[in-house]
Amino acid sequence: MKKKVLFLGASGLIGPFVTPGLEADFDLHLADIKPHPDGTPVDTVDVTSYEQVYEASRGMDAIANFTVVRGDPVLSFQVNSLGAWHVMKAAVAHGIRKVIHSGPQSVRNAYAHDFDVAEAPGASGTGYYGCTKMLSREICRIFARTYGIQTPYFVFAGLGASPMEAVKGQDIPIFRVFWEDLQQACRLALEIESIPDDFQEFNLFSCEHHGKFRLDKAREILGFAPARDWGEYFKRLP
């Protein structure tokens, strides 16, 4: 029997590109506050309402929360931080033992001079969005380790379609993840039984040729690897 997965943020900037790679393996219950861009039916669930998240989580085996607001100083806290609280609280209430969250990789510029960085300490910076997502990470960490909820937390900085031909005028992207790789990471995260300490933050990106950051933890724990050697598309041609 397929796992039942509540996918929050199904109509947003991430959901429509990730769920097609998961629907064959999981029983997805799509939810958002706005219609799906492809017209796919979605349940109306406002992550800022605990009651709505609680009801939507009933009977689920896992929750994937990809809701996000960046620009509005009120909604960004209500969705990013309070929403994470509601998701983890609902998971506890229903005995759900798997939750996926994500956030921005916010310290890459501090390591612009460095290479071969496996893990960097988290830092939100001074931006309001970064602070709200840092709070969400700490909320997830505390709930996960207190209640034994297996919570992979993906960090990246940029998403998009994979290249189809040689890329010109652009360097190898750092911390950008292509849709098929994010699909794979989510699939692996939903399938794995447990992760060390119940909570792990995973670097996630598709191109490794920059040599600055590493995917060691995602490889060793989840079995993740980019679908292709994407760096080949960014090689400088003669």
Domain boundaries, the chain: 4-234
- Quickly count: other Cβ atoms within 10 Å of residue 201's Cβ: 20
Hey, what CATH topology would domain 4-234 get? Rossmann fold (3.40.50)
Q: What do you get for the CA distance between the two ends of the chain, in Å? A: 53
pLDDT of the residue at 71? 83
Tens digit of pLDDT for each residue in 196-228? 999 999 989 999 877 777 899 999 999 999 999
Q: Which of 175, 103, 176 is nearest to 134 (CA)?
A: 103
Say which residues have a Cβ less than 8 Å from residue 72's Cβ, sequence separation at least 6. Answer: none
Sign of the CA dihedral 227, 202, 186, 46? negative
pLDDT of the residue at 195? 98
Instruction: Write down the pTM of the prediction.
Output: 0.92
**CA–CA dist 216, 211 (Å, integer):** 12
Of 14 and 114, the one with more pLDDT: 14
Tens digit of pLDDT for each residue in 15-46? 999 999 999 999 999 999 999 999 999 999 99
pLDDT at 124 exceeding the cut of 70: no
pLDDT of the residue at 85? 98
- Quickly count: other Cβ atoms within 10 Å of residue 154's Cβ: 23
Q: How confident is the model at residue 129 (pLDDT cuts 50, 70, 90)?
A: confident
pLDDT at 98 exceeding the cut of 90: yes
